[in-house]
Structure 1
Amino acid sequence: MAYELTDKDLLDLATGAALLGTGGGGDPLIGRLLVEQALADGCKVRVLDPDELDDDMLVIASAMMGAPTVVLEKVPSGREAVAALRRLEDHLGRQADAVIPMECGGLNSMIPLLVAARADLPVVDGDGMGRAFPELQMETFGVYGVPASPLAIADERGHTAIVATGADNHRTEWFARALTIRMGGSAYIAEYPMTGAQVKRTAIPRTLRLALTLGRTLREAKQEHRDPFDALIDALKQTPYEHGQVLFSGKVTDVSRHVSDGFTQGHALIHGLDSTGTMRIEFRNENLLATVDDRVVAIVPDLITLLDADTATPVTTETLRYGMRVRVFGISTPPIMRTAAALDVFGPAAFGLTQPWQPLEEIAN
């Protein structure tokens, strides 16, 4: 059922999106502030359930593209993502009927809300990643037959471009990544133009509501002095993600991080406070692999999220620092993200990892 987001929802939504962002997707704070300003200006954020879409509606995915660390220094004005949408509409010769998040994690949970508010369009409650991934082809939209192209890209200076690569989603990513680098390491895109029927067939449904629920769960648990991690585990049981668990607790003893090829890449080491060994987290914008003394305990596409041990606040890869005390939390992905076709696109091998994918609920125990 359709509903309207209020400014009171945004903090919970941002917290849940940071959790689902698995360390990446960009810091949601910047996006949340932009959406709050849009609401203060009288705009509205209307959310449509995928089942409410007419089959012939035009739906366009919206997102920030680039290294999350760059966004901290190159803060968007809020106009860039709308400019990308308008450029793609001009190219298609048709106006969008709705926008949809490319991913439900971090900043990219907020950018589509901003576009929807400023363009007076509804936003679809769903996305193409069910978390955050670093590359454009890593979406269930593409896995199940929707081309990413044509794609429009815009920067803060008003420059725009169209990338038209047909059905080759890898080449769309390659060209758009090059443009993003030339635009200063971060840019804003409109992509995967599709029909309402295609959305219903390929999207991971109701992930905005999921993020809102998880953020609210963390807030209420802390207010009521309950264990927020136990509350998260219970909340996830009622969703298609089903399984969540604390994988490790410890102190961050090393962070190696650099921006390369348009991504924030590196690793972190976490030393167990109770002498349980050392966890290593590999990330490329998002956390991809968690090992404890070389034993795999979680691997992409399942979610690996770091949270502050005391406040249960999600920690992004660009804000992770030496000395932080964290808990590493794992979340299993829904079935649509675990098919052979999906794993070919965003399973471990797609990131150059040699370890095979195994379900979180089987290997973490």
Structure 2
Amino acid sequence: MLIDVHQIDDLACGAAFLGSGGGGDPYYGTLLAKAAIERLGPIPLLPLADLDDDALVVPCGWIGAPTVSVEKLPNGREAVDGLRKLEEIMGRKIGAVMPIEIGGGNGLAHLIAAAELGLPVADADGMGRAFPESQMAIFNICGLSACPSVITGADGSLRVIDTPDNLEHERIARAISIEMGGIAHMVEYPLTGRQAKDHAIAGSFSAAIAAGAAIRQARAQKADPIAALAGALAKSGLYPFCDVLIDGKIVDLQRETRDGFSVGRVIVSALTGDRTLEIEFQNENLCARERDGTVRAMVPDLISILDRETADTITTERLAFGQRVKVVAAAAPARLRESHALTLVGPAAFGFSETYVPVEILNNWENAAVV
């Protein structure tokens, strides 16, 4: 399969939803990816099974506060420079790249480098969604090292991190991204093809394309785009449940950039009835609660806020008072719900006191996604 310009908009739409509000707005990545493909040609998309076991497979993406990325644009060379430096460090050529997270702009961040370097993209990612910290990748959950990693900035600066502890790696990388202006590109968790097959979230890249295509086709047919989205996600086998939590408008918003993250909360009031839903976020939407404190969804399950007319996902840095929205939740990939994974990506990892309960149980969804 080849990734061409016609699939980029679908990818951006689907990745925005899978970002759970984070991963960065995909708009600039869409423009850069289209330009690269138009200039250099389509990019091969490989199933994990097609990777050689000894190939060097490299995840990459942006680190920092999405609020900064709205004003501080990339130069388009960050990923290329980081990957070339990693090849120099490891003394071998890269065989394929993949997004560290499929969510938001990070679902497209690697495409420019893939086109420039003539590399295929592995149909997988490291999170199955977006998370705010790099140690929340499935590769860390499975005991793999993030290092050596390379961070590059828009001004051409470059730093190499090599530490045996992945949490320390996140802290160092976060500090460097702040020094580089609040956002930077990072190449991390270099893998063998065998490790990618064993540990990456397989099929997430093509799932994002399918989700975006379903929304586009539903719009054209004047059908329900969220129902179409749910069906496409279920067919992927990764996200079996998806439905609307509330249909309303944003009546309150608090947001600030702090310690390299965009953090805050947003309150959505139902258009009919007396319900409200409060959503807390740290780059990504983390927990959705009713006025009385009843939880409707929590990490690692996805919570995305969509424009109620177009079904376009609104990332946390672009939320605004008065927007009319639908809050949509989806079940996370099963591997993120395992007990060991939950210690790193579940509610407790973000300081919440609640024990994780799957979104379909919290909302009594038996057939939320109709295939």
Q: What are the residue-to-residue correspondences of 1:192-203 with 2, within 5 Å? A: 192-203=189-200
Question: What is the distance in 2 between the residues matched to 1:75 and 1:364?
Answer: 39
Question: Partner of 1:95 in structure 2?
Answer: 93
How big is the shift at 1:277?
1.4
How big is the shift at 1:307?
0.5
How big is the shift at 1:235?
2.3
Question: What is the distance in 1 between the residues matched to 2:171 and 2:92?
Answer: 26
Whether the 8 Å contact between 2:145 and 2:189 is mirrored in structure 1 is yes
Whether the 8 Å contact between 2:212 and 2:229 is mirrored in structure 1 is no
The CA RMSD over aligned residues, in Å, is 1.0
Name the amino acid aligned to 2:78. Answer: E
Aligned with 2:43 (options 42, 45, 51):
45
- 1:274 equivalent to 2:272? Answer yes
Question: Partner of 1:364 in structure 2?
Answer: 363
Question: Partner of 2:11 in structure 1?
Answer: 13
Whether the 8 Å contact between 2:278 and 2:288 is mirrored in structure 1 is yes
Question: What is the distance in 1 between the residues matched to 2:41 and 2:72?
Answer: 25
Name the amino acid aligned to 1:303. Answer: L
Question: What is the distance in 1 between the residues matched to 2:226 and 2:25?
Answer: 21
Question: What is the distance in 2 between the residues matched to 1:97 and 1:165?
Answer: 24
Question: Partner of 1:104 in structure 2?
Answer: 102
Residue deviations 1:262-300 (CA, integer Å, cap 9, x gap) = 000000011111124110000000000001111100000
**Structure 1 length-normalised TM:** 0.97
Question: What is the distance in 1 between the residues matched to 2:69 and 2:41?
Answer: 24
Whether the 8 Å contact between 1:12 and 1:219 is mirrored in structure 2 is yes
- 1:189 equivalent to 2:183? Answer no
How big is the shift at 1:104?
0.3
Question: Partner of 2:253 in structure 1?
Answer: 255
Question: Partner of 2:53 in structure 1?
Answer: 55
Question: Partner of 2:233 in structure 1?
Answer: 236
| SS state at 2:40 partner | coil
Question: What is the distance in 2 between the residues matched to 1:128 and 1:247?
Answer: 27
Name the amino acid aligned to 2:103. Answer: G
| SS state at 2:135 partner | coil
Aligned with 2:207 (options 205, 210, 234):
210
Whether the 8 Å contact between 2:204 and 2:238 is mirrored in structure 1 is no
Question: Partner of 1:69 in structure 2?
Answer: 67
Q: What are the residue-to-residue correspondences of 1:292-307 with 2, within 5 Å? A: 292-293=290-291, 294-307=293-306
Question: What is the distance in 2 between the residues matched to 1:43 and 1:259?
Answer: 38
Name the amino acid aligned to 1:277. Answer: R
Question: What is the distance in 1 between the residues matched to 2:103 and 2:232?
Answer: 18
Question: What is the distance in 1 between the residues matched to 2:77 and 2:228?
Answer: 38
| SS state at 2:190 partner | strand
Question: What is the distance in 1 between the residues matched to 2:97 and 2:36?
Answer: 16
How big is the shift at 1:302?
0.2
Question: Partner of 1:341 in structure 2?
Answer: 340
Question: Partner of 1:265 in structure 2?
Answer: 263
Question: What is the distance in 1 between the residues matched to 2:3 and 2:42?
Answer: 8
Question: Partner of 2:288 in structure 1?
Answer: 290
| SS state at 1:111 partner | coil
How big is the shift at 1:98?
0.9
| SS state at 1:318 partner | helix
Name the amino acid aligned to 1:162. Answer: V
How big is the shift at 1:44?
3.1
Question: What is the distance in 1 between the residues matched to 2:248 and 2:13?
Answer: 22
Question: Partner of 2:368 in structure 1?
Answer: none
How big is the shift at 1:43?
3.7
Name the amino acid aligned to 2:98. Answer: I
Bigger Cα displacement from structure 2, 242-251 vs 269-278:
269-278
Aligned residues with identical type, % of pairs: 44
Whether the 8 Å contact between 1:257 and 1:266 is mirrored in structure 2 is yes
Residue deviations 1:68-111 (CA, integer Å, cap 9, x gap) = 11111111111011111111221112221111110001110111
Question: What is the distance in 1 between the residues matched to 2:94 and 2:159?
Answer: 18
- 1:219 equivalent to 2:219? Answer no
Which stretches in structure 2 are left out of the alignment for 5+ residues? 365-371
Aligned with 2:177 (options 148, 162, 180):
180
Bigger Cα displacement from structure 2, 44-53 vs 18-27:
44-53
**Structure 2 length-normalised TM:** 0.96
Question: What is the distance in 1 between the residues matched to 2:194 and 2:171?
Answer: 28
Question: What is the distance in 1 between the residues matched to 2:83 and 2:352?
Answer: 35
Question: What is the distance in 1 between the residues matched to 2:213 and 2:338?
Answer: 30
Whether the 8 Å contact between 1:309 and 1:325 is mirrored in structure 2 is yes
Question: What is the distance in 1 between the residues matched to 2:152 and 2:233?
Answer: 36
Aligned with 1:125 (options 123, 126, 150):
123
Bigger Cα displacement from structure 2, 238-247 vs 292-301:
238-247
Name the amino acid aligned to 2:177. Answer: T
Question: What is the distance in 2 between the residues matched to 1:49 and 1:125?
Answer: 5
Question: What is the distance in 2 between the residues matched to 1:20 and 1:344?
Answer: 21
Whether the 8 Å contact between 2:207 and 2:232 is mirrored in structure 1 is no
Residue deviations 1:32-70 (CA, integer Å, cap 9, x gap) = 100111112124311111011111111111101111111
